[in-house]
Amino acid sequence: MKNLIIGFLIFCLALNLKAQTDNKPLTGKISYISSQNVYVKFKSTENIKAGDTLYIVKGNENIPVLIVNNLSSTSCVCTPISVNNLSVSTEICAKNNAPKLNNEKKQNGIVTINTKNVDDTIKSNYEDSVKQPKFKQKITGSVAASSYSNFSNINNANSTRFRYQFSLNAKNIGNSMISAESNITFQHQKDNWNLVQENIFNALKVYNLSVKYDNNKNTQIVLGRKINPKISSMGAIDGLQYEGKVNNFFFGAIAGFRPDYKDYSFDFKLPQFGVYAGQDYSNSNGEMQNSFALIEQRNGSKTDRRFAYYQHSNSLIKNLFFFGSVEIELYKNIDSVPQNTFDLSSTYLVLNYRLFKRLSLSASYDNRKNIIYYESYKSYINQMLEIEARQGLSFQASYGIKNVSFGFKTGYRFPNKNSAETKNLYGFVSYNNIPTLKLNITGAVNYLETSYVKGKIYNLNISRDILKANLYFNCGYQLVNYSYVGTETTEMQNIINLNISWRFLDTYSLSVNYEKTFEKLDQLSRLNIQIRKRF
């Protein structure tokens, strides 16, 4: 009995000692602070688990500051949940240091803690202070395969062409500062594979293949083939592009090559380089951007073209959008005599205005000379110099009320000694979502007059969405009546077409388009099939 009593007393003493040990604060110190995490060193993390809250002690108050994410035997990786200043060697407590004071209540001399308020406070601080990744990954793209077939009672008009496309837009890969883009097609004709074997770029077209590094919101570097929207008229640029920003101003530089002008392949014999600068401005209505560039393009070591480029876009006035660009040639080399020039070679202006909620107006002006590369086009310079500038003016308007909309578009190209005037007039009327039938019907008329042909095209089109827009069909009829200038020859065509598009399994789509043309003697059929996978 005596031994049992002594053993019981020893057991109780051990429990008491353990309880005192458990109640003793478990303390550690901050060993390292990174941009996103705080590392805390303990003698042991045996009684700590992921999700626990860690505190700092100020007087009689314990303030929650960290949430444990991961841990080893002696260290914890934590996320800050408080705005308190933390530094290396700051003492951190775990476990039995529950917040006091503001959350204590005393009833009948007994102190209780409102743990719900503590949990809510910790949760609120955590949600407010844990930042989302500065860069968030977003990847979209598609792959598609298409076939285009022509069938005719004329043997040499039969053909089949295949086209494959891959496009990708991968923003902030792995939540990093690196993004990638691509737009690549491969196209070849049946029974003409020898053209692909002779030159792969007869079939392969790389429109965009680039990697972008965003150092921060004010700096970006692009490597590869990509069109720069600040100097869009240059087309694709192969090489390195840099852009920086200071407040509303931006500045950049390019250094690389231009694509081969015959097959759009990569050509390291056509270097180009230049600089650009501009300003962005915005208000409650929209944005304005101005950019100016100086570009040098070469063929080998010799200057091929040197020009200045100015681009302006503006939507600061409500319901009004304006875009304009000009190109100025700064160099010419005729009969091996290089000269500095200042010749306006291109002007392009576009104005869109929504006069009322249902009425939209648009006008454009285009005045372009032939762009001459003095080394690349050396054998054809004299002929190209004789070609006068092409000038065109267009205007269009559209109006909609309830389910009915109608509009027209007219275009005019000014005559010169190289070509006669060109006129184009187009008008349409549409009735969408016809009651009961749920059909969309559009009727249109197009009149065309050029230096060699006059023609009228009458068009009727019917379409409908089925199965919640997952199935779509479109059918139409065209009557084409052409007469050739200077002859009594006329040509009449009756054209019918049918298109069915089916979207299935969320990311897949299948499209089949068939067109049949009836002429007086000949008949021509076209069949286009495409399957696409989006991701």
In this prediction the pTM is: 0.70
* Least confident range of 98-102, 128-132, 269-273, 451-455: 98-102
Q: Which of 198, 46, 158, 65 is nearest to 522 (CA)?
A: 158
Q: Residue 84 — pLDDT band, cuts 50, 70, 90?
A: low
Last residue of a domain, one of 129, 153, 169: 129
Two tokens, residue 468: 């919640």
In a domain, 296, yes or no: yes
DSSP string across 335-348:
TTEEEEEEEEEEEE
Residue 355 contacts residue 363 (beta carbons within 8 Å): no
Average pLDDT value for residue range 305-311: 96
Long-range contacts of 48-53 (CB under 8 A, 24+ apart): 48/76, 48/94, 48/95, 52/94, 52/95, 53/81, 53/122
Q: What is the pLDDT of residue 132?
A: 52
Tell me: do 159 and 188 sit in the same domain: yes
CB 374 within 8 A of CB 351: no
pLDDT, mean of residues 464-486: 89
The mean per-residue pLDDT over the stretch 151-171 comes to: 90
Instruction: Clarify whether residues 237 and 316 are in a common domain.
Output: yes
Task: Answer yes or no: is 486 within a domain.
Answer: no
Identify whether residues 226 and 344 lie together within a single domain.
yes
Interval 84-88 mean pLDDT:
74
- Highest average pLDDT, of 152-166, 198-212, 346-360, comes from 198-212
The mean pLDDT value for 375-392 works out to 76
pLDDT category at 69 given cuts 50, 70, 90 is confident
Tens-digit pLDDT profile for residues 49-66: 888 888 888 777 778 888
Range of the domain at 278: 217-387
| Residue 400 is assigned to a structural domain of this protein | no
Q: Which residue has the higher pLDDT, 126 or 42?
A: 42
Chain-centroid distance, C-alpha 383? 40
pLDDT (tens digit per residue) in 390-415: 789 999 999 998 899 999 999 999 88
Residues 371 and 284 in one domain: yes
pLDDT value at residue 83: 52
Question: Could you report the per-residue pLDDT of 516-530, keeping only the tens digit for each?
Answer: 999 888 889 999 999
In this prediction, residue 13 has a pLDDT band, given cuts at 50, 70 and 90, of: very low
Does residue 200 have a pLDDT over 90? Answer: yes
Q: What is the pLDDT of residue 19?
A: 43
Q: Do 226 and 205 share a domain, yes or no? A: no
Structure confidence at residue 457 (pLDDT): 94
Model confidence at 14: pLDDT above 80: no
pLDDT at 191: 85
Domain CATH code at residue 79 = 2.40.10.170
Asked whether 445 and 459 are in contact (CB, 8 A), the reply is yes
Q: Say if residue 227 is in the same domain as residue 352.
A: yes
Beta strand residue intervals within 467-522, DSSP E:
471-484, 490-504, 508-518
Residue 87 counted as domain residue: yes
Structural tokens at position 48: 């700590």
Residues 365 and 252 placed together within one structural domain of the fold: yes
Written as six digits, the tokens of 308 are: 């200045």
**Residue 289 is encoded by which pair of tokens?**
């951007």
- In 88-218, DSSP assigns E strands to 91-94, 104-107, 110-113, 138-152, 159-171, 178-189, 204-216
Q: What is the mean pLDDT of residues 266-279?
A: 96
Fill in the amino acid letter for 465. Answer: D
Do 231 and 311 touch, CB atoms closer than 8 A?
A: yes
CA proximity to 303, closest of 333, 275, 266, 335: 333
Q: What is the pLDDT of residue 79?
A: 84
Angle at 369 between CA 374 and CA 292, to 5 degrees: 85
**Alpha-carbon gap, residue 448 to 424, rounded angstroms:** 5
Q: Confirm if 48 and 94 have CB atoms less than 8 A apart.
A: yes
Q: Between 375 and 114, where is the model more confident?
A: 375
Residue 276 has pLDDT above 90, yes or no: yes
Lowest mean pLDDT among 122-131, 222-231, 296-305: 122-131
223 and 283 housed in the same domain: yes
Of the given ranges (94-98, 260-264, 408-412, 475-479), which has the lowest mean pLDDT? 94-98
Query: E strand or H helix at 126, and its extent?
Result: helix 115-129
Mean pLDDT of 283-302: 93
**pLDDT surpassing 60 at residue 102:** no
Most confident by average pLDDT, 24-28, 71-75, 311-315, 419-423? 311-315
Domain boundary among the residues 129, 154, 188 is at 129
Region 251-273: what's the mean pLDDT? Answer: 95
What is d(CA 505, CA 317) in angstroms, rounded to the nearest whole number? Answer: 44
Residues 176 and 302: their CA atoms lie apart, in Å, by 41
Based on the domain organization, do 31 and 164 belong to the same domain?
no
Strand 471-484 and strand 453-466: pairing? antiparallel
Domain-ending residue, one of 387, 420, 441? 387
Tokens matching residue 474: 């479109």
Q: What percent of the chain has pLDDT over 70?
A: 86
Instruction: Give the CA distances from residue 456 to residues 250, 428, 491, in Å, rounded to whole numbers and listed in that order.
Output: 49, 14, 11
State residue 489's pLDDT score: 75
| Cα–Cα separations (whole angstroms), residue 281 to 110, 259, 312, 313, 320 | 64, 33, 12, 10, 16
If asked whether residues 141 and 263 sit together in one domain, one would say: no
Q: What is the model's pLDDT at position 371?
A: 85
Nearest to 350 by CA among 378, 382, 311: 311
> How many other CB atoms are found less than 10 A from the CB of residue 72?
10
Report the pLDDT averaged over residues 176-204.
94
CA distance 234 to 309: 9
The confidence score (pLDDT) of residue 15 equals 41
Cβ–Cβ < 8 Å for 69, 54: no
- Residue 418: its pLDDT value, please? 73
Q: What is the reported pLDDT for 35?
A: 67
pLDDT of residue 143: 97
| Number of domains composing the chain | 3
Q: What does pLDDT average to over the chain?
A: 84
The strand pairing partners of 248, in sequence order, are none
Between CA 454 and CA 448 the distance in angstroms is 6
pLDDT at 153 over 50: yes
Quickly state the pLDDT bin for 220 (edges 50, 70, 90): very high
Which of 44, 36, 40, 92 is closest to 65 using CA atoms? 92
The reply to whether 155 and 100 lie within a common domain is no
Whether the pLDDT of residue 123 is over 80: the answer is no
- Report if residue 404 sits inside a domain: no
Which ranges of 388-447 does DSSP label H, i.e. alpha helix? none
Residue 196 has pLDDT above 90, yes or no: yes
Flag whether pLDDT at 107 surpasses 90.
no
- Which of the two residues, 483 and 216, has the higher pLDDT score? 483
211 plus 261 within the same structural domain: no
Residue 111 pLDDT > 80, yes or no?
no
